[in-house]
Chains A and B, each alone.
Chain A
């Protein structure tokens, strides 16, 4: 099975972001990582390859330091990669999808495409849908369990309302991965060394026929969010307060898993 995994090179969520200019941030000293949701996609793709055979190709649209992230994906077991190099820190979601599609198509017919459910930097949650639309493929996002068999993908997703949906899609399709899908492996050290020898094919947007000036959404202003310091008072019985506190820590502040 030929599987593509779209991986975004994003600033570490623990990094301190300093806005530079009107629409950018200082990135020279910031640690970048693979978008954590994409890592679930890499792990799933590699385990499908391990059980069913095939090939896993990483596709990244990102700046010149993106190969550092790509090497990590290769060390996890992907076979090779395509790096679409861009200069801007924020590329319009439609152009990103066009670039991913063109890069994948030029490489061969995909049987399965993984993306993360969204990226932790811009959080616009568009890539899986836009990519699926461009390909005319079915898509399910926020997939927390997946079975791929006999030309079909059975994807489980949790809806916001608390129920689980199990959706069947014909291959090829796009799967937006999220937490729960698997536990991404740590690369073994010898695999880190082997990743050095795997191919990363570099290309630009123009090689893929993507016109950067045709962006439909343009970032016009970026500003730091003023630090919030006001306290929030919880009310009700002790049980209610504790329940609410746990909810706040889990859902609002995301400090509990």
Chain B
């Protein structure tokens, strides 16, 4: 057994940490406050290679293993959930489906621009009436000669309504299966296609500096070569995409927990009450000890899931465990961190309140905690 990361993986961590501290930390609070998505910052993240991390170099990706990608997301999330969301969604949901399921032409056409960070791509799955019940979606695509005509809407789609957005992948019903259930296929819809509208969503509790959109498709016509992979593969593609995506959400939980813990530990060692640093009081020290322990456990389960994926072994159960556990760990750690900060923890000047808010999405997005428990329970034979 070997728990050491490679030198290169360690360097990725060190460089991303340095980047996050220098480029993101000074402006994260302001972007959150203004609910502003920063194109400039997104492009900077692209320049160092934060997009297309697991994509091979032939499509201008960075050609790295999955664990390096997860470490990068973790390190960004340690400083800011919003930017981590841009990276995680950009890679796992934007780039991932095109890279794993796209035709050669689609990969050549779209990946270089997305891997450089010049453009972003959304992944339209969730609908206003279809959340955990993904099979209940209503968006349809009907073939008309050499084109598909898409109608419907999607909601809560990250990176889909920025000025950098080049397009979205949208899942739609394309027929009925032999068993009577709907058949799904995914389509690539470029920004600017007539009838396609992406509207930014505002007034969010969390991830306020990431771009979130509602998508509307009103007789949107795309050429038939814009179908992702094969007709009828949409449901399978979605499941596979979410398996990988869970690891990046887990990385956001892990990184966010680490960030909140770092702030709490620092504060507890500096803040004095009753004549000594509050870290010396067991009531505070035990919270920090529990946090350190849970972060360690979360990191181990998540890295193991990544290792399985890199080894091309089944990782779906561990991915669900990693996502579920890391997001719940962040919930407890951020809660402790605010408590340790006392009244200051409720103020925006102290960064922990942002971690406290940003955490909640992780138990809801890309499969709620309840859905993760269903996934795990099926794997263990319930």
Contacts and interface: CB of A to CB of B under 8 A. Distances in A.
B19 interface: yes
Interface string B277-298: 0000000000000000000000
Interface in A167-195: 186-190, 192-193, 195
Interface string B10-30: 111011001100000000000
Contact of B8 (A31, A33, A193): A193
A190 B19 CA distance: 16
B11 A190 contact: no
Most buried by B among A189, A190, A192, A195: A189
Given A68-B10, A72-B11, A196-B8, A189 B47 contact: no
Contacts of A188: 47-49, 62
Contacts of A195: 11
Interface size band for B: 10 to 19
Contacts of B12: 189, 192
A8 interface: no
A187 B48 contact: yes
Contacts of B7: 68, 71, 196
B212 interface: no
B62 A186 contact: no
B19 A189 contact: no
A75 B14 CA distance: 12
Contacts of A193: 8, 63-64
Contacts of A189: 12, 48-50, 53, 62, 64, 68
Given A193-B63, A193-B64, A186 B11 contact: no
B281 to A, nearest CB: 20
B11 A71 contact: yes
Most buried by A among B10, B48, B57, B64: B48
Interface residues of A, number: 15
A68 B9 CA distance: 12
A16 to B, nearest CB: 10
B10 A190 contact: no
B14 A72 contact: yes
A94 B19 CA distance: 35
A186 B48 contact: yes
B63 A192 contact: no
Contacts of A68: 7, 10-11
Given A71-B11, A72-B11, A190 B63 contact: yes
Interface string A59-76: 000000000100110010
Contacts of B62: 188-190
A190 B57 contact: yes
A195 B7 CA distance: 11
B35 to A, nearest CB: 27
A33 B57 CA distance: 29
A195 B18 CA distance: 18
Contacts of A187: 11, 15, 48
A253 to B, nearest CB: 15
A178 to B, nearest CB: 18
Contacts of B14: 31, 33, 72
Contacts of A75: 11, 15
Contacts of B48: 186-189
Given A193-B63, A193-B64, A186 B15 contact: yes
Contacts of A186: 15, 18-19, 47-48
Contact of B49 (A31, A33, A190, A196): A190
Nearest to A75: B11
Interface string B64-93: 100010000000000000000000000000
8 contacts: A68-B7, A186-B15, A186-B18, A186-B47, A186-B48, A189-B68, A190-B62, A192-B8
Task: Give 3 nearest A-B pairs by CB, closest first.
Answer: A189-B49, A189-B62, A186-B48
Given A187-B48, A192-B12, 9 more contacts: A75-B11, A186-B48, A188-B47, A189-B49, A189-B64, A192-B11, A193-B8, A193-B63, A196-B8
